[in-house]
Structure 1
Amino acid sequence: MAFFDKVFASVGIGSATVDTKLERDRYTPGETINGVVEIRGGKVDQQVDDIYLSLNTTYLKESDDKKYNVTATIDRFRITSPFTIGKNERKEIPFSFQLPLDTPLSIGRSKIWVTTGLDIKNAVDPGDKDFIQVVPNQLMNAIFNAVDGLGFRLREADCEEASYKVRGRLPFVQEFEYVPTSGPFRGRLDELEVVMRPSGNGAIELLLQVDRRARGLGGLFAEAAGLDETNVRLTVTSADIPNLQQQIQSVIQRFS
């Protein structure tokens, strides 16, 4: 019977299982995530070569004029060296890692989750999937409030594949697409796209795409040629929060 237990374990039947328990499920970019990986042995002793945590999301990729969702690994963390998990043994391995600053926010269709896996030779890799909520930090919240205060309404938020000129270490950026419904830019802009790129010193680089509304025949030709869009970069810090709305308004006005 022991022989058959070993055979079954090698194909994932009666083998080790894994369950990750996070300290909480709500974080801001840059915060530390703490938790415990619980491993339960199967019907036989098994060598575990590696335990890893992967932080994942999805983004839209375009090919042949079609858009489709692709899973991307934001970061990957190895949390232990090789060890043996005994028959029916239970182990708890604590872990800690920093949520990367460029992790997308849980807004719109953007989902973020942690995947846990064990590398076990000749066995199916048992996995575990835990979703987390990534919420804006103080400066990000101030940016959202400033844009809202200028009369813009968030229409869509999504992670999309980006060009090498715009992307950071990841192949995508998270875009927040706004439309003006009131305030000084209603009737002047079609939309405003905002991308936030946090840096390690607490600053955020804002990439703004200002899409002007066509005015007259010349405006229609400009819109058809894509000349009605202007890309602007603006770096802000926590010190700018009291005057953030005025700063963003001033930048948009120059190109609207």
Structure 2
Amino acid sequence: MLDKILTSIKVGELTVDTRLEKADFKADETVSGKVILKGGNEDEEVSRIRLTLLEPKEGSSENTDFGESDKVLQMYEIKSEQVVEKAQSVEKPFEFRLANFDLDKTTNALVLRTHITIGDGKDSEDEEEIRIQ
């Protein structure tokens, strides 16, 4: 019974945490940080790590068909085909240059979404805010 409860709330699965070197950036600056993969109760095969820089749009939500979608500004992929072992922590450093964007005047910050594709079809995501000066 306890196993079913833990599985239903996704306790024990691989998790992802994205950490940026800093939160404030200028156009054309290099964004650097690391993606931390934390193994759960079993080994997981990671097939892809994708970072997507988004400009959030008012009223957008990935869980609704209403409102505008977030605008994708830039994508970066970390080559990673490896097994994250049970309870293991793996750090994947990354670095990419911010392009010069035409941002909406109401945009205060961008979102860096990290999407991990796991071999058996499960996924994990994390989001961090990036402020553009």
Deviation at 1:46, TM superposition (A): 0.7
1:26 aligns with 2:1: no
Q: 1:1-256 to 2 correspondence within 5 Å?
A: 8=7, 12-59=10-57, 68-102=67-101, 104=103, 108-135=106-133
Q: Which stretches of structure 1, 4 residues or more, deviate above 3 A after TM superposition? A: none
Q: Runs of 5+ in structure 2 lacking a partner? A: 59-65
In 2: Cα distance, 1:133 partner to 1:26 partner? 5
Give per-residue Cα distances to partners, 1:115-174, cap 9 Å, x unaligned. Answer: 111101334311111011111xxxxxxxxxxxxxxxxxxxxxxxxxxxxxxxxxxxxxxx
In 2: Cα distance, 1:56 partner to 1:109 partner? 11
> How many residues are treated as equivalent by the alignment?
122
Give per-residue Cα distances to partners, 1:67-113, cap 9 Å, x unaligned. Answer: 943212111111122110000001111110011112627x5245411
What is the TM-score normalised by the length of structure 2? 0.79
Over the matched positions of the two proteins, sequence identity in percent amounts to 25
Q: Which has the higher contact order (CA 8 A, sep 6+)?
A: 2
Q: 1:111 to 1:70 in 2, by over 3 A?
A: farther
In 2: Cα distance, 1:103 partner to 1:115 partner? 19
What is the TM-score normalised by the length of structure 1? 0.43
In 2: Cα distance, 1:12 partner to 1:122 partner? 15
Deviation at 1:58, TM superposition (A): 3.0
